[in-house]
Amino acid sequence: MKDLARFSRGASESAKAAPASRNATASQSVPQVQLLTISDEEAGQRIDNFLLRVCKGVPKSHIYRVLRSGEVRVNKGRIDQTYRLAEGDVVRVPPIRVAEKQETVVPGAEFRILLEDSHLLVIDKPAGVAVHGGSGVSYGVIEQLRAARPQAKFLELVHRLDRDTSGVLLIAKKRSALTNLHDQMREGTTDKRYFTLVQGDWKNARQHVKLPLFKYSTPDGERRVRVQADGQPSHTVFSLLRRFGDFALLEAELKTGRTHQIRVHLSSSGFPIVGDDKYGDFALNKALQKADGRRIAFKRMFLHAWRISFRHPESGDTVTLKAGLPQECASFLRSLEGGEEGELLPYGMLACAEG
């Protein structure tokens, strides 16, 4: 359990209460008051979000409790949870002790880089890797990048991809870049495109799907989404790229960015994504995991973030980045057509994406 008894006491009172006979080892385990000076990269964020990052492992309820109690001070003055930090602010963080637990060792990892400069790191995320830890996952891409780059002062996800979705993933290296790109996404000025393979006889060359999406949790706590009248407005544009027998390869263009948007829009329209273990055709997925004649086995979800366009947060220039279709997806498509060589995608999409 978290020990919050000291939150309501000043540092001097705590010192008087401490027994003089404590040994050096014990004294090292006692939490101390921290005075933290806000850097340029930390400026602009709310004090509650800052404390949640600094006090890792401390529940949100405890963070807000010490904020309300006045134990947290900025420049020696009381503040509330909505205060936004400025460069040079000195934050007093009270002593917070948590029960000791074994730390998860995060193995550092790098991923294929599509772009890197002083503001951004853009990678091609493989399928099967979570973008961050949580919900039964000890660590993800962002934790692995931080472990591999201990010198990096700031690394934060700009957006997210589902664990089983591969492709273009943006990471900010400056807070200013993070807020700028978030603003662009809220304004709808970014352009995100995905490749996906669905089962069914897709008819239209271009199809708008506008179905409201509602987020909920299953009894075991798993996050899910369904179409519901009072859900969030959601809009995806699908373009038919090519048919492969009973399957259709589509490009999905996100007009809004809701959780599981592409997956639920397609499933609810009667075209489940191949390999989707939440909203797909489970019998089909199981059958495709085994090879059948020339068709090879396929054991992932066929959803790949292949292209993104945005304004660079520093220069304002338009940046377009592409990630080629993963080899396992390309090989599966070729096996559906009997292994024949030739263009898998129209307009050279595959070739230019792999450049």
Residues labelled as active-site residues: 162
Those residues whose C-beta lies under 8 Å from the C-beta of residue 75, and which sit 6 or more positions away, are 89, 90
**352: phi then psi, degrees, rounded to nearest 5:** -70, -25
Cα–Cα dist 272/270, whole Å: 6
Give the dihedral sign, CA 162/165/170/173.
positive
Instruction: Give the integer Cα–Cα distance in Å for 78 and 254.
Output: 43
Helix ranges, 172-232 (H): 175-187
Amino acid type, 264: V
Alpha-carbon distance of 284 to 317, in angstroms, equals: 44
What is the CB-side half-sphere exposure of residue 331 using CA atoms within 13 A? 9
93, 33 Cβ separation under 8 angstroms: yes
Determine how β-strand 303-311 pairs with β-strand 318-322: antiparallel
Buried (b) or exposed (e) across 69-105, using 16+ Cβ within 10 A? eebbbbeeeebeeebebeeebebbbbbbeeeeeeeee
Cα gap 323→355, rounded to integer Å: 9
Measured from the Cβ of residue 44, the count of other Cβ atoms closer than 10 Å reads 15
Residue 134: what are its φ and ψ, rounded to 5°? 125, 160
